[in-house]
Amino acid sequence: MRSLQRTPVESGDGSLVRDSSLVWLAGGIVGVSFGAVSVAGGLPVWVPVLMSVLVYAGSAQFSAVGVLLAGGGPVAAAVTGLLLNTRTAAFSLAVAEIIGSGRATRLLGAHLVTDETVAFALAQSDPVRRRRAFWISGLGLFAVWNVGVLAGATAGSALGDTARYGLDAAFPAVLVALVLPALRADAAVRRCALLGAAVALAVTPAVPAVVPVLLALGGLLLHRPPAGTGAAA
């Protein structure tokens, strides 16, 4: 007979779902905005919906749709989205061991890599919890994002100008909440973050939107591993 006592893993999963819900809520709200903006601009409903399932790239999707609505072709839109998503290459390296092994697992995991999911996973205290956090957060965010996009695209122009709702502030607010614990706990992380933020702010007026984010990775130059953690011979 199965015991009614909850295991630590089950209990931990419950806390991960609870903590992920804020990310999911933000994702759903921004997804509604993306779907509505796309259809209100003249694209058919299936374009943002299919893009969200196959591309699933958040800000890159907004940029690609912006290019299309401005009269650019599909190639220009794809190149713009690809440029914006180059930052996920660094994120993928950070979670490569967290995702798990197996070709199918890594392929699906790579599709779920987002700023929010990576930040949420890396904020956890041990490797097992990080892996579970990645999959719980990633799968949930993917589902909520796509439901939000479908809802926004179906509503179309009925929502009016979505910019007036301030929906673009949802994801940055969530990211700040996710990284604050690490910033408080580790002075080395704070130094890296401050340098990265300074670099990003300095170059923002002179470079395209995605470039400051990539250059902010230069803050990692200040990172030093703890004593005794050097590479093994």
Tens-digit pLDDT profile for residues 68-101:
777 777 777 777 677 767 767 777 777 878 888 8
φ/ψ bin of 82: left (φ > 0), alpha (ψ from -120 to 50), beta (otherwise): alpha
Q: Residue type for 80, please?
A: T
Is this structure's pTM higher than 0.75? no
29-33, 45-49, 129-133, 225-229: lowest mean pLDDT where? Answer: 225-229
Backbone angles phi, psi at 53, to 5 degrees: -75, -45
What is the Cα gyration radius of the chain? 19
pLDDT for residue 141 = 93
Q: In 3-state terms, what secondary structure has residue 73?
A: coil
Question: 233 pLDDT band (50/70/90 cuts)?
Answer: very low
Each residue of 7-52: pLDDT tens digit?
Answer: 344 456 788 888 888 888 888 888 888 888 888 778 888 989 999 9
